[in-house]
């Protein structure tokens, strides 16, 4: 995932207890724990699965996604 641009919620308080997301060039979405930034561990999902997941969160009342 070289060159991935990682981001996290602007509601994060910076104490490394967050999940970061990166949208990859191959159309997949990568996720990692902020505590694991330097070790290369992350998992990927298809962009459609990510959209379904975040859509479900929004439908349940979670905002800021």
pLDDT digits (tens, 9 = 90+) for 9-62: 887 776 767 889 999 999 999 999 888 777 778 999 999 999 999 999 999 998
> Which pTM value belongs to this model?
0.78
Q: What is the pLDDT of residue 16?
A: 67
Reading across the β-sheet that carries 19-23, which strands appear in turn? Answer: 19-23, 28-33, 43-46
Residue 12 in tokens: 């994060």
Residue 53 confidence (pLDDT): 93
- What are the Cα distances from residue 55, in Å, to 21, 44, 64? 16, 18, 12
List the structure tokens of 10. 């602007």
Task: Give the pLDDT of residue 65.
Answer: 55
């Amino acid at each position: 995932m070289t060159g991935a641009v990682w981001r996290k919620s602007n509601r994060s308080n910076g104490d490394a207890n967050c999940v970061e997301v990166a949208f990859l060039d191959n159309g997949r979405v990568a996720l990692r724990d902020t505590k694991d930034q330097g070790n290369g561990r992350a998992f990927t999902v298809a962009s459609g699965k990510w959209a379904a997941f975040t859509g479900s969160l929004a439908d349940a009342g979670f905002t800021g996604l």
